[in-house]
Structure 1
Amino acid sequence: MGTWDIGHFDNDTAADFSGTIDDAPEAGRAAVIRDALVVAIEADYLDSDEGAPAVAAAALVASQCPGGEPVTTAYGPDKPLPVLPTDLRPLAVKALDAVLGENSELRELWDEAGDKEWAPGIARLREVLVAAAG
């Protein structure tokens, strides 16, 4: 995993995911985000190449929630997102639960690196989504 920082888009896989969103027609961008979330939710063991897009997708969903932070990184999608369906919010929460879970390679990699900032950043993102999901 080519990772350069703790941000939700600060790795090669998430940056590539942003390109996939940009390549999709505007009407299909929400489906790309939904697919990334569902892959994470349904995985028995969440590979980091599946976890990183799920985190990025959750950040995009959260950016449209009250209290959510806009995605301003150069590694996020360049093209505007449509208003995302609100049913993505609980999916994003479940995907982040999978990313932080015991069967997540992404969590394992950050734990092994001894990082103390990545997981709290994911938890803050989750809090925004939980509040918005009702």
Structure 2
Amino acid sequence: MGTWDIGPFDNDTAADFSYRVDEAADGKKADVLLAAFREVTGAGEEYLDADFGAEAIAAAALVAAQCPGGEAVTSYGPKKPLGDLPVELRAEAVAALDRVLAEPSELLELWEESDGEEWKAGVLKLRGVLTGA
């Protein structure tokens, strides 16, 4: 995974995910986000692949951007409008973020080898926006 910073879209996997969101038909973009969340939450106790974690974080950032206190998505995010996302996606996003931050998670392991605390703080900030909405 090519990563250039700690943000939700600052890696190749998330940038590719943005393209998938853009390519989804209007009215189906929320389904792409939900699938990313469920890929992660469905992993249970199994080892969670870093790519799935990166996509879930990117999807959570898109949901959080529509919440009070949410931040706009960077230029690496989707280019096309998402429309209003269902409020129910917030709980799915929180569950996915919790799973990414729990062992066994490849993405968590990779970040703990470098700027783990700063990255984790960013993920927890996203979680806070999602639960505070």
State the Cα distance separating 1:116 from its structure 2 match: 2.7
Counterparts of 1:78 and 1:107 in 2: how far apart (Å)? 28
* CA RMSD in angstroms, aligned pairs only: 0.9
In proportion to residue count, which structure has more helix?
1
State the Cα distance separating 1:46 from its structure 2 match: 1.2
Aligned to 1:21: 21
Report the residue type matching 1:19 in the other structure: Y
Q: Percent identity?
A: 60
Deviation per residue, 1:24-77 (Å, 9 max, x gap): 111110100110011111112210010000000000000111111111x11100
- TM-score of the superposition, structure 2-length normalised? 0.95
Counterparts of 1:42 and 1:116 in 2: how far apart (Å)? 26
Aligned to 1:113: 114
- Out of 54, 57, 63, the residue aligned to residue 56 of structure 2 is 54
**What stretches of structure 1 of length at least 5 have no aligned partner?**
none
Does 2-11 or 114-123 show the bigger shift?
114-123
**What stretches of structure 2 of length at least 5 have no aligned partner?**
none
Counterparts of 1:34 and 1:6 in 2: how far apart (Å)? 23
Counterparts of 1:16 and 1:124 in 2: how far apart (Å)? 23
- TM-score of the superposition, structure 1-length normalised? 0.94
